[in-house]
Amino acid sequence: MNTAFAAPKGIPEYTPPDSAGFAHVRATLIAAADRAGYGLLELPVFEDTGLYARGVGESTDVVSKEMYTFADRGGRSVTLRPEGTAGVVRSVIEHGLDRAGLPVKVHYSGPFFRYERPQAGRYRQLQQVGVEAIGIDDPALDAEVIAVADEGFRALGLTGYRLELTSLGDEDCRPAYRELLTGFLSRLDLDESTRERARVNPLRVLDDKRPEVRALMADAPLLRHHLSPAAAEHHAAVLGHLDDLGVAYVENPRMVRGLDYYTKTTFEFVHDGLGAQSGIGGGGRYDGLMATLGGPPLSGVGFGIGVDRTLLACRAEGVAPWTGARCEVFGVPLGEAARRRLVAMAGELRRAGVRVDLSYGGRGLKGAMKSADRSGARYALVLGDRDLDAGTVGVKDLVSGEQRSVPLDGAVAELVASLGG
Ligand code: HAM
């Protein structure tokens, strides 16, 4: 018996015509990075498992529970990339990109893989657009990275999101704060699994969503109030630059990100129309990561935006700044000679930059016109034997319904002109 295959669980597929929205969101986010001078870095989709274990952190859910890890046929342990930052840093070190001037500014996009429990907005294959700026520890660069993400969302027409940010401090203040928080946590009546979480990373408890734990944590010391002078100064400068850039933010001193490499600036873009999976993008500074992965001690800052969730945010706000049209002109040949002529015209139009599709398979006028309407084209080119004899072609405006005869020889130039080409 034949069994029909289905895509693996938890993977959003984007099929036409809806995929036009996905493509538009991704392209708009990439364009915002491009306008700020971030060059394309095309990363491998899988890497040595150790890169993520060391780079992202063994204590994170991403590494301990969610990685797609397997042995390849040569017996090496490889992992489908769960995120992009570790791969970018590996690539900068491997290719010595820092030697060509700092900061190294790159953007990347594509699928990432996390074995999470699938639900609306949470997938096992998720799509990100990310940027990383490596090698200069300047608060203006943190603000630039944040502004690029904000600009991407704005360019899509989104308004229902907010930027939350905080500082996670540096090596001068984090160890002492960790001790302070650990002391505070040891005096609380926490259940065993929360105690275990606190042992691995006490900061995680700050972000616990359960009301009873939140109540216990109300008086917890916050890193924001224990920053080293340098980290505090850095944070204030980032806020100043964001004000100058006109990027609105709210401070959230309890923010904890799911990855271990963050230092100083950390941020999340949160959308209110998405329910539980409300994070449409996030990132921050990771000043120790380069050295952790065996490179020179260079700083870094970046973001990853979830393309799937950003598309859901567009839907939630009812913004759809993309066209679902597959083509601009749709050819309807009625007969063999007409088909030869229209196939040639389609080639000419495409070379002139016009998007063209045709009716194939010798379909009649009615069926072919239905396809023309469905294609989203502005014009249908209708050509029959009589038109050919007269040296004309019917051009039907599919918006107004108006049809007129145009000389065959001038039809291509006329269509290019009326489509604004
Ligand atoms: P992240 O917060 O783990 O950060 O992921 C970034 C974004 O990817 C999230 O805000 C969310 O929109 C999307 N995302 C994550 N997991 C899923 C999922 N299971 N389903 C759908 N969307 C998801 C990072 O990955 C860091 N590498 C960001 C970064 C770059 N930090 C510094 N540079």
Give the distance (Å) from ligand 1 centre to CA of residue 403.
Answer: 51
Q: How many residues does the chain have?
A: 421
**Can you read off the two tokens belonging to residue 4?**
């029909």
* Same domain, residue pair 233 and 265: yes
Same domain, 295 and 354: no
Q: Cβ distance 150 to 42 under 8 Å?
A: no
Q: Identify whether residues 363 and 306 lie together within a single domain.
A: no
Residue 269, strand partner residues: 163, 281
Return d(Cα 271, Cα 305) in angstroms, integer: 12
273 and 337 housed in the same domain: no
Domain boundary among 262, 291, 317: 317
Query: Is there an atom of ligand 1 within 6 Å of 308 CB?
Result: yes
pTM for this one?
Answer: 0.95
Question: Which amino acid is present at 286?
Answer: Y
Cα pseudo-dihedral 74, 76, 82, 88, rounded to 10: -100
Residue matched to tokens 């050819």: 331
pLDDT on residue 323: 86
179 located within any domain: no
Residues 351 and 313 in one domain: no
CA distance 141 to 290: 17
CA distances from 206 to 98, 172, 177, 194 (A): 36, 21, 13, 11
CATH assignment at residue 80 = 3.30.930.10
Burial of 65 (0-12, 13-18, 19+ CB in 10 A): exposed
| Residue finishing a domain among 292, 317, 342 | 317
Q: Is residue 129 part of a domain?
A: yes
Residue nearest to atom 14 of ligand 1 (CA): 306
- 389 three-state secondary structure: helix
Strands 46-48, 392-397: pairing kind: unpaired
Q: d(Cα 259, Cα 367) in Å, to the nearest integer?
A: 55
Same domain, residue pair 44 and 168: yes
- 383 within 8 A of 329, measured Cβ to Cβ: no
Asked if residue 214 belongs to a domain, the reply is: no
376 touches ligand 1 (CB under 6 Å):
no
Q: Look up residue 228 and give its two tokens.
A: 């080293």
What H or E segment, with its residue span, contains residue 407? strand 403-407
74's tokens: 């040569």
Q: Kindly state whether residue 118 falls inside one of the protein's structural domains.
A: yes
114 three-state secondary structure: coil
Among 134, 98, 108, 95, residue whose Cα is nearest residue 44: 108
CATH number at residue 338: 3.40.50.800
**Domain final residue, candidates 317, 349, 365:** 317
- Residue 54 is assigned to a structural domain of this protein: yes
Residues 166 and 280 both lie in one domain? yes
- Ligand 1 lined by 88 (C-beta under 6 Å): no
Are 133 and 301 in contact by the 8 Å Cβ rule? The answer is yes
Structural domain of 261: 19-173+227-317
Nearest ligand 1 atom to alpha carbon 123:
20
Q: Is the CB of 145 under 6 A from ligand 1?
A: no
Residue 55 Cβ contacting ligand 1 at under 6 Å: no
Q: How far is the CA of 119 from the centre of ligand 1 (A)?
A: 16
**How is residue 38 annotated by DSSP?**
P
Tell me, yes or no, whether 117 and 55 share the same domain: yes
What is the C-alpha separation between 222 and 178, in angstroms, rounded? Answer: 10
Residue 254 sits in the same domain as residue 348: no
**Does residue 366 sit within a domain?**
yes
Same domain, 344 and 259: no
Q: What's the structural domain count of the chain?
A: 2
Shared domain check, 334 and 312: no
Does residue 57's CB lie within 6 angstroms of at least one atom of ligand 1? Answer: no
87 lines ligand 1 (CB under 6 A): no
Per-residue pLDDT of the chain (421 residues; tens, 9 = 90+): 678 999 999 999 999 999 999 999 999 999 999 999 999 999 999 999 999 999 999 888 999 999 999 999 999 999 999 999 999 999 999 999 999 999 999 999 999 999 999 999 999 999 999 999 999 999 999 999 999 999 999 999 999 999 999 999 999 999 999 999 999 999 999 999 999 888 888 998 998 889 999 999 999 999 999 999 999 999 999 999 999 999 999 999 999 888 989 999 999 999 999 999 999 999 999 999 999 999 999 999 999 999 999 999 999 999 998 988 999 999 999 999 999 999 999 999 999 999 999 999 999 999 999 999 999 999 999 999 999 999 999 999 999 999 999 999 999 999 999 998 5
Q: Does some domain include residue 410? A: yes
- So what's the pLDDT on residue 256? 86
Instruction: Verify that 285 and 377 share a domain, yes or no.
Output: no
- Does any domain span residue 195? no
Q: Map tokens 């500014």 to a residue.
A: 105
